[in-house]
Amino acid sequence: MTSPLASRERRFMSIARSALVAATLLLGACGPTYPNCDGDSHCKDKGEYCLEKKCVQCRLTSHCANASTDACVACEKGQCVRKAGCCTNNLDCPSGKKCSANACVNQCASDADCVGGKTCNEQGACVSPDAAGCSSDGDCGGSLKCKEGKCVNKDGACELIPVNFAFNRANLSRSAQSSISSNARCLKERKVTSVTVEGHCDERGTDAYNLELGNRRARAVKRYLQRVARKLKIRTVSYGKARPECNDSSESCWSRNRRAEFVAR
């Protein structure tokens, strides 16, 4: 037979358990409301995560869709985004750039980096040989004029024009490529079969450095010229800074001295 004391104890324990359950439910009801949170459990029904007491799209990059297969996906300040400047293929990069190690970089540093007969221009892009000569007299410079896409003297005879370069560079710009193509047509018109390409530099730098830079410029012109005038015999020579076209210490003068010249033989 159960004593009155034991019966009272059972009733007390039952009441205590009920009170505990009620308190737990009450505390849950009084917890943070969305988007506030104390842990991921408060954000789970939204498919989100708790970060600094707020429900957000992600807390770690691994929380983002495709993060395991797309190296450009990242979690930043609770949002899944693509990293600035990041790429996964060449289509993600602007024209003239390629994707390397998830970064858009120049396509080339020299002609050797290009394929299919293309050359490396000053912007580090592989470009096709430009067959255009001139479209206006301004493209020819000096006392020359543009006639039927060619730079010619005023008497109508075509003129070999210098190929200019940027400071400390031997890559061919589009303008330089156009000058070479124009010279190739002129040599053909004159029935010239061999030519010397002379490399020149401005006054800055040592003699040895400029001799090598002049060689690089002459060789760059030769490689391009061989593509547009395949039967032409071409030799190269460098004069470094020994034969300037002008002697002023100014950019306008230096730009004229950074050149390659054609000498018909």
Strands (E), the chain: 49-51, 54-56, 73-76, 79-82, 97-100, 103-106, 119-120, 126-127, 145-147, 150-152, 163-164, 194-200, 233-240, 259-264
Instruction: Dump pLDDT digits (tens) for 150-208.
Output: 666 665 667 889 999 998 899 998 888 989 998 999 899 888 999 999 999 999 889 89
147 has a pLDDT exceeding 60: yes
| Structure confidence at residue 72 as a pLDDT band (50, 70, 90) | confident
| Structure confidence at residue 84 as a pLDDT band (50, 70, 90) | confident
| Structure confidence at residue 258 as a pLDDT band (50, 70, 90) | very high
Of all residues in the chain, the percent with pLDDT exceeding 70 is 75
Q: Do 252 and 233 contact (CB within 8 A), yes or no?
A: no
What pLDDT is recorded for position 60?
A: 93
CATH number for the domain running over 129-264: 3.30.1330.60
Query: Average pLDDT of 5-25?
Result: 63
Q: Among the listed ranges 88-92, 146-150, 187-191, 231-235, which one has the minimum average pLDDT value?
A: 146-150
Q: DSSP string of 159-199? A: ----EE--TT--PPPHHHHHHHHHHHHHHHHHT--EEEEEE
Query: Average pLDDT of 99-111?
Result: 84
What pLDDT is recorded for position 130?
A: 44
Instruction: Dump pLDDT digits (tens) for 22-40.
Output: 555 555 555 788 999 999 9
What pLDDT is recorded for position 137?
A: 67
Segments making up each domain of the chain, as ranges: 4-81, 129-264
Q: Do 108 and 169 contact (CB within 8 A), yes or no?
A: no
What pLDDT is recorded for position 145?
A: 67
